[in-house]
Amino acid sequence: FRFKDSLAEDLQSADLVISHAGAGSCLETLEKGKPLIVVINDKLMDNHQLELARQLHRDGYVLYCNCSTLVETLQSMDLSALKPFPPGQPEKFASFLDKVFELQ
């Protein structure tokens, strides 16, 4: 893709999403209920994409690989094994902030 202001329309019509492991990309895809294969870029500083991809995989939400194992992952994937991502609960975070800043 070239740069787009939003991928919402593309995500809505997708049957499978293959993405880098940026937190925004992962969460936006998972919140739309789309199966996700995360391709990590292990050359990035601190390899933070790998940490996120591993945790989301451990929790059962994504498959992950690197560029050299993408074809193998596509050939062996079982998307039915992925769990639906739970909806966000922003009210919990707001409640936490209220308590921290003694607003309640």
Superfamily of structural domain 7-95: Glycogen Phosphorylase B; (3.40.50.2000)
Cα 66 to Cα 73: distance, rounded to the nearest angstrom: 9
What pLDDT is attached to residue 78? 97
User: pLDDT tens-digit profile of 44-64?
Assistant: 767 778 989 999 999 999 999
Cα 69 to Cα 61: distance, rounded to the nearest angstrom: 19
What pLDDT is attached to residue 93? 81
Q: How confident is the model at residue 39 (pLDDT cuts 50, 70, 90)?
A: very high
Q: What is the 3 state secondary structure string of the chain?
A: CCCCCCCHHHHHHCCCEEECCCHHHHHHHHHCCCCEEEECCCCCHHHHHHHHHHHHHHCCCCEEECHHHHHHHHHHCCHHHCCCCCCCCHHHHHHHHHHHCCCC
The answer on pLDDT for 104 being more than 70 is no
Domain boundaries, given as residue ranges, for the chain: 7-95
Cα 44 to Cα 52: distance, rounded to the nearest angstrom: 13
Q: What is the pTM of this model?
A: 0.81
